[in-house]
Amino acid sequence: MTSNWLTTRAWFLMLPLLIVMIAIIGWPLVDTVRLSFTDARLVGTEGSFVGFDNYVKILSGTNFQRTLVTTFWFAVLSVALEMVIGVLAALLLNQQFYGRSVLRALMILPWALPTVVNATLWRLIYNPEYGALNAMLMQFGMIEGYRSWLGEPGTALASLIIADCWKNFPLVALIALAALQAVPRDITAASMVDGAGAWSRFRFVIMPYLAGPLMVALVLRTIEAFKVFDIIWVMTRGGPANSTRTLSILVYQEAFSFQRAGSGASLALIVTLLVTVLAVAYAALIRKSAGAS
């Protein structure tokens, strides 16, 4: 069998997938690009060519700039929190204690909970009149009166980040734990004989094993956080006063609530470009770690 024939056979076998991907991913993506240069409405008018008008308006508008900043803070804070708590939890789960295997198994629960259910659950917890958070803080005497955690611009984003973090830090912990279990015992033992303290043991002996998997988790989580929609839509719909409005929420409002398909499409492409930059970094990391091992 020649390699030419093998390649032809491979493309033939991939034909069904290619047709599906072109029809429902490739073509819509191209059409989004076309729409982004028009003033098309979602329903009704086809729209006419307007050049870069949509892009200019979006990039110079305060809505976009403010939303970009909100998205940035959501992504940076939630991912940073998830990484730190995740690694700490993994270090703990790698120690000996009673019930360790049970706790390791339970770590999967927040991750398995559907995002919409997680958002609904935290919305109930934060409820201003009957929520568990208010009740608990009150009983411990930590607040004077019930607060509207999701209803005030000052606390809404932080409350969302905590809810997102609770769902996602166990994922980081499980990835980090798997990496920790790959650290050879005799290396840590040898470093202790050599008199390394806890911090230098972590920094110089364990960290090299953690770095690769953690980088992958970091980039994947950052991409997800940049695309965030579900948890915010269910908990605050971007409010109050647009203080939790992220890029995906803004696209939804522009294209579907206001039915401006043209500028919605250009906004969606700007988001896609930002995600692509992150994804390229991810691909480079995978290739690098594949080359290293």
Partner 1 sequence: MERRSLTATILVHLAALVLLVVILAPVVWLFVMSISSTPDLIAKPLHWWPDTVDLSRYGVLLSSVANSAGEAFVASLFNSIKVAGMATVVALIVAVPSAWAVSRTPSVGWSLYAVIATYMLPPVALAVPLYMTLAWAGLLNNVFGLALVYLTILAPFTTWLIKSGFDSIPREIESAATLDGARLDQILRLITLPLAAPVMATAALFAFLLAWDEFFYALLFTSDQRAKTLTVAIADLAGGRVSDYGLIATAGVLAALPPLLVGLFMQRALIAGLTSGGVKG
Q: How far is the CB of 230 from partner 1 (least distance, A)?
A: 4
For residues 20 to 49, the per-residue mask of contacts with partner 1, x marking binding by CB under 8 A and - elsewhere, is xx--xx-xxx-xx--x------xx------
User: Which of these, 136, 145, 222, 209, lies nearest to 177 by C-alpha position?
Assistant: 209
Which residues inside 262-291 make contact with partner 1, applying CB under 8 A?
Answer: 264-265, 267-269, 271-272, 275-276, 278-279, 282-283, 286
Q: How many residues bind partner 1 (CB under 8 A)?
A: 107
Report the chain's C-alpha Rg in angstroms: 24
- Distance separating alpha carbons of residues 207 and 196, to the nearest angstrom: 14
Q: Which of 127, 148, 155, 243 lies at the binding interface for partner 1 (CB under 8 A)?
A: 127
Q: How far is the CB of 111 from partner 1 (least distance, A)?
A: 7
Which residues inside 159-178 make contact with partner 1, applying CB under 8 A?
Answer: 166, 168, 170-171, 174-175, 178
| DSSP annotation string for 30-90 | HHHHHHHTB---SSS----B-TTHHHHHHHHSHHHHHHHHHHHHHHHHHHHHHHHHHHHHH
For residues 66 to 105, the per-residue mask of contacts with partner 1, x marking binding by CB under 8 A and - elsewhere, is -----------------------x--xx-xxxxxx--x-x
* Part of the chain binding partner 1 (CB under 8 A), chosen from 52-60, 62-70, 148-156, 258-266: 258-266
Determine, following the binding rule CB under 8 A, whether residue 221 of this chain makes contact with partner 1. yes
CA-based max dimension of the chain:
79
Determine, following the binding rule CB under 8 A, whether residue 142 of this chain makes contact with partner 1. no
- Distance separating alpha carbons of residues 92 and 97, to the nearest angstrom: 9
* Part of the chain binding partner 1 (CB under 8 A), chosen from 47-55, 62-70, 115-123, 150-158: 115-123
Which residues inside 5-24 make contact with partner 1, applying CB under 8 A?
Answer: 6-7, 9-11, 13-14, 16-18, 20-21, 24
Determine, following the binding rule CB under 8 A, whether residue 140 of this chain makes contact with partner 1. no
Determine, following the binding rule CB under 8 A, whether residue 114 of this chain makes contact with partner 1. yes
User: Which of these, 46, 42, 28, 61, lies nearest to 242 by C-alpha position?
Assistant: 61
For residues 226 to 255, the per-residue mask of contacts with partner 1, x marking binding by CB under 8 A and - elsewhere, is xx-xx--xx--x---------xx--xx--x
SS3 269: helix
Q: How far is the CB of 175 from partner 1 (least distance, A)?
A: 6
Q: Do 63 and 253 form a contact (C-beta atoms < 8 A)?
A: no
- What residues contact residue 36 under an 8 Å CB cut-off, 6+ apart? 54, 55, 262, 263, 265, 266, 268, 269
Determine, following the binding rule CB under 8 A, whether residue 3 of this chain makes contact with partner 1. yes
Determine, following the binding rule CB under 8 A, whether residue 137 of this chain makes contact with partner 1. no
Q: Which of 58, 107, 206, 214 lies at the binding interface for partner 1 (CB under 8 A)?
A: 107
* Backbone φ and ψ of 140, nearest 5°: -85, 0
Q: Which of 72, 111, 202, 209 lies at the binding interface for partner 1 (CB under 8 A)?
A: 111
From first CA to last CA, the distance across the chain in angstroms is 32
Q: Is 48 left (phi over 0), alpha (psi -120 to 50) or beta?
A: beta
